[in-house]
Structure 1
Amino acid sequence: MGDVIDENLVRKLIAAQFPRWDGAPVGRWPSGGTVNAMFRLGDDLVVRLPLTESGAEDVVLERTWLPRIAPRLSTRIPESLGAGQPGEGYPWPWSVYRWLPGENPRPDGPSQLAEDLAEFVLAMRSIPLAGAPRAYRGGPLAALDTATRSAIESLRVTPEENVDCDAVLRLWENTLRAADSDDAQVWLHADLMPGNLLVDGERLSAVIDFGCMGAGDPACDLFPAWNLLSDEAREVFREALKVDEATWSRGRARTLSQALIALPYYRNTNPAMAGNARHVIRTVLREIT
């Protein structure tokens, strides 16, 4: 589908469904994401079109829940201004959002960013769970076991990545054995990757892409500790969230699992995702040695 999603399609969709924005300049916005294509619409708007059917399900999820949770958050999140429908040969729902300025943060983020991220996570956790959907990544750690082991074996036969597969397998197995049966559930963003965060200098300015959100294991929103923050900032993040050892271990294992799966999958197709996966693996191994 991605090869037919272009500026011309966006112009046709806008003209047919949102004539008030017809004629505004349209330009594709470069993104390392894999689920949506993004296009600037004038100076103040962005059009987001799913590339897959599963991505289209995320559109419906965001339309339902973002307006409900936004008033409970001090951090800016996407605001849908137009609910697009299938048309012009495009088969799925899509959205027009207010443009949120900022840049994606770089690795080894500072302590101020850690504090801002912790504030966001705590605010998400404070949202009542009544009616919340299940988060995409919120289930038991054991549900990731097969995919994680398969990814480790893929990396064993990819020596150029220089991953200590024995070390990451030991960490995974040890965490899996020790994982408690705590059924605590909280509201999660569940995809706090650098590409879903915007910063202004050292401060968090917005969190975007809530397609994985819902109720689940609190460890799922600890991803930034290893995929983004410096060693010092990681401790600031943990202290601000008052994370116990069991939850911290699950969070580290979940983040590692995601990286191990992403690296062989994206290494030849998505440099940003593969690069972040390598960073996570290095960071986790450094922390445990």
Structure 2
Amino acid sequence: MTTGRLHPDQHPVDEDMVRRLVADRFPRWAELPVRRFPSGGTVNAMYRLGEDMVVRLPLVAGGASDVALEREWLPRLAPLLPTDVPEVLAAGEPAAGFPWPWSVYRWLAGRNPEAGALAEPLQLARDLAEFVRAMRGVGLPGAPRAYRGGPLVELDAETRAAIEELRGIPEEGVDCAAVAAVWDDALRAPGWDGDPVWLHADLMPGNLLVEGGRLTAVIDFGCMGVGDPACDLFPAWNLLTADARAVFREVLGVDEAMWRRGRGRTLSQAVIALPYYRKTNRAMADNARFVIREVLGDS
């Protein structure tokens, strides 16, 4: 799903390095086969370890803190959520030329849903809404601030810069004036004035697993924490189309202000991702295009 380096500061990782790391830290698994798992992810690399485990390693320094976050919070969140989440089996440390902590997880079966081509879109919308509602209901104390989820204005400068960058890429065919109008509308929406709630904060299709049209697992909790609940409305536009989007909104009971903020957040992520990943990560770029189409068609 990726071509070339995703980031200029990306640390090189390959199967040989993963074998060395595993053998050094966990000799009992040294003989298990290791193979790269193709993923559209942008912050971590994943390698299957045998049939029942997966090694997940940060690609950049900014992803290293996610490792500790998941180790601390996933065991506490797991029993409170309606779907499977990653189970950390072992904690790896820097070694063998790799500079950051890494983890071994239990392998979760399933496949990533394809935006706009879902087997059971209305049921998946309900499943997603139930997951988001369960996250919002988590009452665990001492929560970190979510990577996303602060005031929308914090994204303004980066979003406007990305819109201007897209103006210079006419082959993408983005209606930048319409995008800017939706973004302006989101900024005018009333902000969240309630208590911050628990968020996954990165509900991209690549972080969801489905089987038989149903949501079975949510992965990659590296952005989790508390903040504006509008942040977890991403699937409304990055995965669902109009009918399913309406079901998602109804089940969650989203008011107009939160809907406008959620739409703006999802659009912001897409317009930032598209120029950055258009030549290096097809999955991210294609999903960004899908978001822009859905948001402009929905507004």
TM-score scaled by length of structure 2: 0.94
Cα distance in 1, alignment partners of residues 195 and 115 from structure 2: 30
Instruction: Give runs of aligned pairs for residues 116-155 of structure 1, distance below 5 A.
Output: 116-155=127-166
> What letter matches 1:30 in structure 2?
P
> What letter matches 1:141 in structure 2?
L
Is the Cα–Cα contact under 8 Å of residues 192 and 228 in structure 2 kept in the other structure? no
Cα distance in 1, alignment partners of residues 32 and 81 from structure 2: 31
Cα distance in 2, alignment partners of residues 99 and 178 from structure 1: 41
Instruction: Give the root-mean-square deviation of aligned CA atoms.
Output: 1.2
Q: Mark the CA change 1:187 to 1:181 in structure 2 (over 3 Å): closer, same or farther.
A: closer
Q: In the alignment, is residue 8 of structure 1 matched against residue 21 of structure 2?
A: no
CA-to-partner distance for each residue in 1:148-172, whole Å, 9 max, x for gaps?
1101111111111111111111111
% identical aligned pairs: 68
- Give 1:205's aligned residue: 216
- Give 2:82's aligned residue: 74
What secondary structure is seen at the aligned counterpart in 2 of 1:205? strand
Cα distance in 1, alignment partners of residues 14 and 151 from structure 2: 39
After TM superposition, give the deviation of residue 201 of structure 1 in Å: 2.3
Instruction: Give runs of aligned pairs for residues 147-226 of structure 1, distance below 5 A.
Output: 147-180=158-191, 182-226=193-237
- Give 2:109's aligned residue: 101
Is the Cα–Cα contact under 8 Å of residues 11 and 59 in structure 2 kept in the other structure? no
- Give 2:91's aligned residue: 83
CA-to-partner distance for each residue in 1:188-225, whole Å, 9 max, x for gaps?
00000000001102101110000000000000000000
TM-score scaled by length of structure 1: 0.97
After TM superposition, give the deviation of residue 177 of structure 1 in Å: 2.0
Cα distance in 2, alignment partners of residues 226 and 2 from structure 1: 29
Structure 1 residue ranges, 4+ long, deviating more than 4 angstroms after superposition: none
Cα distance in 2, alignment partners of residues 3 and 130 from structure 1: 34
What secondary structure is seen at the aligned counterpart in 2 of 1:90? coil
- Give 1:265's aligned residue: 276
After TM superposition, give the deviation of residue 2 of structure 1 in Å: 5.2
Is the Cα–Cα contact under 8 Å of residues 241 and 294 in structure 2 kept in the other structure? no
Is the Cα–Cα contact under 8 Å of residues 66 and 78 in structure 1 kept in the other structure? yes
CA-to-partner distance for each residue in 1:43-85, whole Å, 9 max, x for gaps?
0000011111111110000001001111111200000000001
Structure 1 segments unaligned to the other structure (5+ residues): none
Cα distance in 2, alignment partners of residues 65 and 78 from structure 1: 11
Q: In the alignment, is residue 45 of structure 1 matched against residue 45 of structure 2?
A: no
After TM superposition, give the deviation of residue 235 of structure 1 in Å: 0.7
Is the Cα–Cα contact under 8 Å of residues 12 and 59 in structure 2 kept in the other structure? no
Is the Cα–Cα contact under 8 Å of residues 14 and 21 in structure 1 kept in the other structure? yes
Specify which of 228, 232, 249 is matched with residue 260 of structure 2: 249
After TM superposition, give the deviation of residue 104 of structure 1 in Å: 0.5
After TM superposition, give the deviation of residue 129 of structure 1 in Å: 4.8
**Length, aligned pairs only:** 288
Is the Cα–Cα contact under 8 Å of residues 136 and 214 in structure 1 kept in the other structure? yes
- Give 1:228's aligned residue: 239
